[in-house]
Amino acid sequence: MPFTPIHMGPGIFIKAVMRGSFSLMVFGWTQIVMDIQPLVVMITGEGKLHGFTHTYVGATLVAIFSALTGKHLSELGLRILGIAREKPIIIYWWVAFISAFIGSFSHVLLDSIMHADVEPFYPLTMINSMHGWLSVVALHKFCLYSGLIGAAIYYAMEWKLKPR
The string of pLDDT tens digits covering residues 51-98 is 999 999 999 999 999 999 999 999 998 888 887 667 778 999 999 999
The string of pLDDT tens digits covering residues 150-161 is 999 999 998 888
The percentage of the chain sitting over the pLDDT mark of 70, rounded to a whole number, equals 96
Q: What is the pLDDT of residue 161?
A: 82
Encode 145-157: b = buried (16+ Cβ within 10 Å), e = exposed: ebbeebeeebeee
Which alpha helices (H) appear in the chain, and where do they start and end?
8-18, 24-34, 36-44, 56-80, 93-114, 136-161
Q: Cα–Cα distance between 55 and 28 in angstroms, integer?
A: 18
- 29 neighbors 75 (Cβ within 8 angstroms): no
Q: Cα–Cα distance between 101 and 56 in angstroms, integer?
A: 10
- 149 neighbors 17 (Cβ within 8 angstroms): no
What's the whole-model pTM score? 0.92
Sorted by sequence, the CB contacts under 8 Å of residue 133 that are 6+ apart come out as 113
